[in-house]
Amino acid sequence: MYAAVNYFKTLQTNIIMTGLATAGRIFSIITAISIGIIAILFIVLWISSSGKTRPLLDADGHVLKASISAKLQIPVNGVQQGMFITGKDTANPVLLFLHGGTGMPEYFLTQKYPTGLEEHFTVCWWDRRGAGLSYHKDIPAESLTIEQAISDAIAVTHYLRKRFKQNKIYLMGHSGGTFFGLQVADRAPELYAAYIGIGQMTYQLESENLSYQYVLKQYREIGNSKMVRILEAAPVTMAIPLPESYMRIRDKAMHELGVGTTRDMKSVMTGVFLRSWLNREYTLREKLGFWRGKFMLDRLIWSKMIATDLRTKISRVNIPVYFLHGKYDHTVSYPMAKAYLDALNAPVKGFYTFTHSAHSPMFEEPEKMEEIILNDVFNGTNGLADEN
């Protein structure tokens, strides 16, 4: 009996030791695979991060002689700020593009969604102070304000006017960029030939409330009880700040419904986040700064932006004003933008509905935008605008 007990004890010990050894081997294999995947991802990111711009080529693959494709840093009100400048002919009118978000540069999206803007403009894709190429860890937080962003935009405008020897340039804002853009146009109309607002913000706190009600209703109707529970636990009211729980689910909820960045972009992770990391024209260091800057600016100025009602702040702009808006846009309210333009005083104004677009008509329907620019914007008219 004693020998039998010892046998089973020894057998049990051997089984345990064998199991531990097997578990150890499995853990080692998993660790090695994980390290290999990380190494492969790093190599892919490194290869995809040359930081070099794409030249503009003719039909034979030669660089267009009068073209420009440059990435540069310039001093703007005492802080180095970055931009991409691209265009097929530097004699064309100059366009300053104000990107969206608190700090979400959009030039990287033109690889997937070419706008064609470089055909008719010399386009400056400026990354605002603290965003993208303009992120620096030592930027004083107290300088990251709405007023400073407006002042910086005017300073960049003066740089472009001088560099390309043009008295007036065109100003285009998208999403969050329209919040600054309309104020820039109001502040210094003598510098601009026209203002183009794509997904024009008006009073974003009210717009967020409307968006929340819309997406909640949609998820109820399609029977997505999980998303309904999440949204109901993160109610949006006319109070600041917006609930953090709502901000965490906001982009996912909109994109899954096709009312976010574009109609076809169902995931902000693959459509924006991953695509930004695979863009070749930012270096790895710049890509890290890209997202550090976005989160920093979200924290510092988002609540201030959504609390500002442009409808009460700006009632007249002394240059032609054009609003381009996607029919399916629920990131920024379509009806609020339309009502605002109806009330806004301007020498020429036009509202243009893009019937196949969500939040980014310049990416979703670039041919229609090109038609509007060539026929209305360049001529200071509004013949293609929606009928009232």
CB of 346 closer than 8 Å to CB of 316: yes
The CA–CA distances, whole Å, from 337 to 108, 199, 203, 211, 355 equal: 26, 8, 9, 14, 15
Given this model, what pLDDT does residue 2 score? 55
SS3 percent helix, strand, coil of the chain, rounded to 5, is 50, 15, 35
CB of 339 closer than 8 Å to CB of 371: no
Given this model, what pLDDT does residue 47 score? 72
CB of 266 closer than 8 Å to CB of 256: yes
The CA–CA distances, whole Å, from 278 to 39, 48, 111, 135 equal: 16, 5, 10, 19
Task: Please work out, in degrees rounded to the nearest 5, the angle formed at the alpha carbon of residue 105 by the alpha carbons of 346 and 77.
Answer: 75
Please give the backbone phi and psi of residue 354, each rounded to the nearest 5 degrees, phi first: -100, 105
Superfamily grouping for domain 68-204+276-377: Alpha/Beta hydrolase fold, catalytic domain (3.40.50.1820)
The tens place of each residue's pLDDT in the chain, 388 residues long, gives: 555 556 556 656 666 666 666 766 766 666 556 555 555 655 766 577 899 999 999 999 999 999 999 999 999 999 999 999 999 999 999 999 999 999 999 999 999 999 999 999 999 999 999 999 999 999 999 999 999 999 999 999 999 999 999 999 999 999 999 999 999 999 999 999 999 999 999 999 999 999 999 999 999 999 999 999 999 999 999 999 999 999 999 999 999 999 999 999 999 999 999 999 999 999 999 999 999 999 999 999 999 999 999 999 999 999 999 999 999 999 999 999 999 999 999 999 999 999 999 999 999 999 999 999 999 999 999 999 999 7
Structure tokens at 58: 């003719």
Residue spans of the domains in the chain: they are 1-47, 68-204+276-377
Using the CB atoms, write b or e for 243-277: b if 16+ within 10 Å: beebeebbbbbbbbbebbbbbebeebeebbeebbb
Amino acid at 238: M
In the three-class reduction of DSSP (H, G, I as helix; E, B as strand; rest coil), residue 324 is classed as strand
